[in-house]
Structure 1
Amino acid sequence: MSLISPACRDALQHWLEGLAALGGASANTITAYQGDVTSFLAFMSSHTGGPQGLGALAQISTADMRAWMASERSAGTGSRSLARKLSSVKSFYRWLATREGFEPTAVLAVRAPKFQKKLPRPLAQDAARAVIETVELQSTSDWVAARDVAVVTLLYGCGLRISEALSLTGGDAPLPQVLRIKGKGEKERVVPVIAAARDAVDRYLDLCPHPQMQDAPLFRGQRGGALNPRQIQGVMTRTRAQLGLPASATPHALRHSFATHLLEAGGDLRAIQELLGHASLSTTQAYTAVDTAHLMEVYNRAHPKA
């Protein structure tokens, strides 16, 4: 931060605090914004010959923006990451321009680099079932095996993020037929809980040696503390190795699988958006492309070659 003037540093801090307090941005989002804008401000200070005040930011030109993007490219920043950084900078500039009363067109008019959006990599339905059946074989402790099965069943059966599953507390048990989940940006959504998930959690609770308390984490580590997501990631790594699944078979892939399999079964895209907690329908529409790709694969296998 030494290259950045105190005025710019203070402005950045005020913006981040506003995002956290009023915008409901998650801690991870705030950290990403801070890193993106800090590196941008540091570049501009160096580019213009030293720490500059807020007035200098109002004078940034399209050529300055191109110089920053070229610098990022030469440092190995890919198109996707550069697009994200530019989005962070534009968000900061919109706020700063309103506060300081200048015209931010030179920054806002810069186009983000194009990149190929990665489609979700869901598991086939039989592979998803095999994962749930094989997860319990990765532990010699019955209660740990039951715990891992319960978490994985929630990811696939309810479309939860791993952070959402691990944020459940003793007060949520026994699981009801419907859960209220707080997702990204503290957005709340209602998620139906399938019987298999409720049964898996009940079995884990029957075997868990640690007492369940209202405000304590539902899923516990070996010593009774909150379960670390790395434990579930490790279980998935061992499970996919045993089943011969690709590296894309991660805990998050189970959430993608939940959405894709619902769509294949005729689920409504808007309803799936609500279940996943996506802020934008365009995010959910990625699954349409996955489903189309699957249909074309089946078609190509079945169609006689000319």
Structure 2
Amino acid sequence: MTTEALVRRPTFDRAWLPKYGVYAAIVLLVLYNVAFTPNFLAWSNLRIQLVQVAPIVIVALGMALVIGTEGIDLSVGSVMALAAALIPLYLGYGVIAAILVSLIAGVVVGLINGVLVARVGLQPIVATLALFVGGRGLALVISHGQLKDVRNDDLIFLGSGDFLGLPMLVWIAALLVLVVAFVVRRTVFGRRLLAVGGNRAATELAGVPVKRVLIGVYVLCAVLASIAGLLAVARIQSSDASSVGLLIELSAITAVVVGGTPLTGGKVRVLGTVAGALLMQLVIATMIKHNLQPSTTEMVQAVIILVAVYAARERKSR
């Protein structure tokens, strides 16, 4: 064996972890559950897991786009709460009107975040932290801090109905995955997004409208969070601004990082983000099924995040 081969071998052996580690972990966890968890493959259980992970996948898609520009968005949970608070107010005008108002709210929040980051020059974590706190407060003011029932068959169908044997939530999440993947891989906007995350200064020198790209990314992230919020209302058939989307930003960031998208920007792994969300959902479900304490689940999640971040750091350094 040559010296060159000896040098290259460890790089190849370890380079697979950020790319394929999440898929290997899912396979191992599924095999473990098939062997040791009763009724794991029952459709009722699989349906529950898919329905629970769908909103996280939708929010994580937007978070992946933001992280791809070397940013972060802590306001996605508050955007979900805001969308949830607006739904009952405008449902009397029809389900389409209520959905449009919720999406417009997401656009407005995304514009605020994008302008603060791109034009004012605030750090993304600072800019979005303001709406992380203020957005949920506004949602509570709109709803008067009260839980409101939602009784609209068309809206409820989006959250609880089935189509061709699968929950509508899953179909919607799958469609959004395809849309985001197309945007990232096949559009000029997607290429510019990755360029901004890879080297913002060089991208500006190349004449790319960096500020417009950043604003667009934050708008997309907030709109996806709005969709997740209205689907959450449709699923639970009620609007509670104090609980809808609470701490989902942490789950979304975890899914993105575990899925292999580097926090340093320049890449967006759409399929990896979906796999990351599925992995964390499987971890939580496995812990619950085996009667482990929530604190244990949190520690396991922390270890997974650390391994994912370390693997991405090692790969970048090489």
- Work out whether the TM-score is over 0.5: no
Q: TM-score, normalised by structure 2?
A: 0.26
Q: TM-score, normalised by structure 1?
A: 0.27
Q: Which has the higher contact order (CA 8 A, sep 6+)?
A: 2
Q: Please state which structure has a larger fraction of its residues in helix.
A: 2
Rg (Cα) greater in structure: 1
